[in-house]
Amino acid sequence: MKKKELRGHLGMLAFSMDSQWCVMHREDLPEPTRVCAEGQYQGMIFTLTVLGGDWVRDAKGKHRVFLMGESSRDTDEYTNKED
């Protein structure tokens, strides 16, 4: 798999984690919906870590995913430098 493809897939995973995190914290949704979102979120984290990856979540609930020396983002938002 090429670096660009891997980053694209990591970006999709980070977006999915963002989405599930958001659903988990929406109090206007029924409890079963939030519990289902939490299960999916925990499953993504488990799978990523079993594969040797890591992740971070900022204060706004946005995720960044790391695997095989690659990141889900091209630019590090903390330093504003490209990876």
Question: Would you state the pLDDT for residue 33?
Answer: 98
Query: For residue 58, which of 33, 25, 21 has the smallest C-alpha distance?
Result: 21
Structural domain spans, the chain: 3-82
Reported as a single tens digit per residue, the pLDDT across 23-70 is: 999 999 999 999 999 999 999 999 999 999 999 999 999 999 999 999
Q: What is the 3-state secondary structure (H, E, C) of the chain?
A: CCHHHHHHHHHHHHHHHHHHHHHHCCCCCCHHHHHHHHHHHHHHHHHHHHCCCEEEECCCCCEEEEECCEECCCEECCCCEEC
Question: Would you state the pLDDT for residue 80?
Answer: 54
Residue 74 predicted with pLDDT over 60: yes
Question: Would you state the pLDDT for residue 11?
Answer: 95
